[in-house]
Chain A
Amino acid sequence: MHIIESGNVAAANGVKLANVKVIAAYPITPQTPLTEKLSEFVDAGEMDAQYIPVESEHSALSVCIAASSTGSRAFTATSANGLLYMNEQLHWAAGARLPIVMCVVNRGIGSPWTVWNDHQDAISQRDTGWIQLYCCDHQQIIDTVIQAFYLAETVSVPVMVCYDGYILSHTYMPFEIPKQADVDKFLPSFKPEYALNPNQPANLNTVTLPDVRPDVRGDMAPGYMEIRHNLHADMRDAIDVVGDIDKKFNQIFGRGENPYIETYRCDAAEFVAVCLGSLSYHLRDVVDILREEGIPVGVAGLRLYRPFPDQAIRDMLADLKGVIVFEKALSYGNQGALFADIKAALYSSKNRPKVHNYILGLGGREIKTAHLVDALRNSCVDTDKVGDTPVWIGLKM
């Protein structure tokens, strides 16, 4: 069935189709309509789940952590300061290897207060051990939410599904709601390796020593470092799993084929603009204009940001003349986080392209097509003129 609805409603429908059993969330703009929709689904009996109206985001993720540890599929959603308020629990959920899925409806963070879109919230949490997927449109939101549960439960790592506040969360677009029977065929039910159970008592998340230690039978149990190494190794393996899941999804639903990077006019491109989220669709218009001018440029939107698909990045960008990274976030005092990641991925390539960095759209600052055209043209025409430090677009100073 096709409907025309908001990005938040697309996400809520994905959660419903994924048969989530425990939902806990706390309202924050622009995530709020998603939370409201889910409570509607549950209250109307359209969804057989526990909806827990917690008193904070810290508690929202705590509920999900405990519900997941007890063997139920759990979901939460937040934005901006709500995500930051969860920080401790983000690390905890990843360390405890819980397949929780969370929508992050991207918004700038205070101070000063802003309710408008940028990516600083999710980017600032990139090292928490969560998988991060980014969406460009409503169809991707609903599809990615469903895929995210499969991914999380396959690799036992929690997943953030990120989409732009307002630009996607509050705008209306047509999208297809997959059939429940197809989703059930795609997404197996949640079967945790262990769930809290008095018949099989276990003490979870205990204090763990720096070194390995024998258990009561004399078998060696991992220390903290082995446990953390496994999280990293499984996250690296998740890159292939994302590809496999994309194939399976495509077979059933006929959508996919770009699990890591979604490209536009990158064939025979000498330059590629790279970004996260809905900005890549905006950049398609920009590329069309520059292609008219004869500049061989394309766009690449990353769907997967953590784990970082560095091989896919190299395959796509290594032999270009220039890569131009547009970012709605930065690592203050340094440069854009994505910019740094892309440069690191390309470092081992023989013919490294020039890599430029533009910072834009912070706190919802309007992103003008003309500005994007100028910036991208500058980077393509005069690759040496733009240096290594990020250039701010649309700044009025």
Chain B
Amino acid sequence: MTEKTTILNLSEDELVHPGNRACAGCGLSIVYRIGLKALGRDTILVVPPSCLTVLQGLYPIAATQLPCLNVTFASTAAAATGVLGALKAQGRESTLVAAWAGDGGTSDIGIQALSGACERGENFIFICYDNEAYMNTGVQRSGTTPQGVITTTTPFSGKSQKKKDVPSIIAAHGIDYVATASAAYPLDLYDKIVKAKTMNGPKYIHIHTPCPAGWGFNPRFTVKIGKLAVETGLYDLYEIENNKWRLTGASKKLIGKKRTPVNEYFNTQNRFKALSDEQISDIQKEVDIKWQSYDETYGN
């Protein structure tokens, strides 16, 4: 593993301007700012409709300094393929191509194109910022909305189905690099992107991205809530590199340790208010079983 990036040696090149159109406290603003630093200037971005479209600014003003192709909702990974095809045809293959989509654009409407691109082995990085609902259209449920969450299309009793495990689906394509990250650990994300850049073929990074507006919490708690998701063991940071799965960063440090009860995470956000005590204790049990197996497999 290459040396870890710290706040002291993080690139000072700012590619996302302050004063963009994201909400105050938006987790996406953190990961986009840090993520673009990691991608670097020789990058072409592909972005489908999402909060990111809005963050990037309204014509003719842009909040970012990288070339970006805004595309239709279902087409992100296919469009990235087209950029790659043209770069190859022109001998410009050193330029990096990165697709950056929300959870809806990745796990629901965009999954066919993404699966196609992964199967074809396209040499690009696909980054999904998972704010666990369709935020741009006003907080509707998505495939990655967790069970029990209140959205505008699961308004009273919360979503009854479980969160879709997108990183596993992408990993099942047999690509060389899949990683999860969190907006609460931006330097870990930075290093994962930097590592992905060194690898060939499709690379997939899934970022848990707290959203104060959609999740119902005070904007100043974005990082705290992101950390709680990891510290409770609900959301795990890991890498699947050449088929080898391993916990990373803050999740790795939890092996063999006592975790924060999931309840403490749920209590910080309005979206979980429909969860019953029974549902919470079921979720706690599931997390405990998952972590027991981590402890047994990876503990020493």
Question: What is the interface of chain A, defined by CB distance below 8 A to chain B?
Answer: 21-22, 24, 49-50, 52-56, 58-60, 62-72, 74, 88-89, 92, 195-198, 200-209, 213, 215-216, 221
Q: Check: B23 CB closer than 8 A to any chain A CB.
A: no
Extra contacts besides A58-B113, A62-B113 (20): CB < 8 Å:
A52-B85, A58-B74, A59-B116, A62-B71, A64-B82, A66-B71, A66-B82, A67-B83, A68-B86, A69-B69, A70-B44, A70-B69, A72-B85, A88-B72, A198-B41, A198-B95, A206-B60, A206-B62, A213-B61, A221-B59
Say how far B70's CB is from chain A's closest CB, in angstroms: 4
Q: B71, B86, B112: which contacts A22 (Cβ < 8 A)?
A: B86
Contact (Cβ within 8 A) A215 B61: yes
Interface residues as binary, B14-49 with A (CB distance below 8 Å gives 1, 0 otherwise): 000000000000000000000000000111101000
Q: Does chain A have a CB within 8 A of B248?
A: no
Q: Which residues of A contact B88 (CB under 8 A)?
A: 50
Q: Do A56 and B112 contact each other (CB < 8 Å), given the known contacts A207-B59, A216-B61, A221-B59?
A: yes
Given contacts A22-B89, A55-B113, contact A203 B82 (CB under 8 A): no
Summarize B's interface: helix, strand, loop or mixed.
mixed
The CA-CA distance from A70 to B44 in the complex, in Å, is: 9
Q: Is the CB of B116 within 8 A of A63?
A: no
- The complex places the Cα of A58 from the Cα of B113 at a distance, in Å, of 9
Q: List 13 A-B contacts (CB under 8 A).
A: A56-B116, A58-B75, A64-B82, A66-B69, A67-B85, A68-B82, A70-B82, A202-B62, A202-B68, A205-B69, A206-B57, A207-B59, A213-B61
User: With contacts A206-B57, A206-B58 known, is A55 near B44, CB below 8 A?
Assistant: no
How far, in angstroms, from A56 to B78 measured CA to CA in the complex?
A: 10
Known: A56-B116, A72-B90. A63 touches B79 (CB 8 A): yes
Contact A66 B46 (CB under 8 A): yes
Chain A residues whose C-beta falls within 8 Å of the C-beta of B72 in the assembled complex: 62, 88-89, 92
Query: How far is B42's CA from A198's CA once the two chains are assembled, in angstroms?
Result: 5
CB proximity of A133 to chain B, nearest CB, Å: 24
> B142: CB under 8 A from chain A?
no
Q: Does B120 contact A (CB under 8 A)?
A: yes
Residues of A near B115 (CB, < 8 A) are 55
Kindly state whether residue B138 has any CB partner on chain A within 8 Å: no
Minimum C-beta distance from B85 to chain A (A): 4
Which single member of A55, A196, A209 contacts B83 (CB below 8 Å)?
Answer: A196
B107 interface residue (CB < 8 Å to A): no
Within 8 A of A (CB), among B110-146: 112-113, 115-116, 119-120
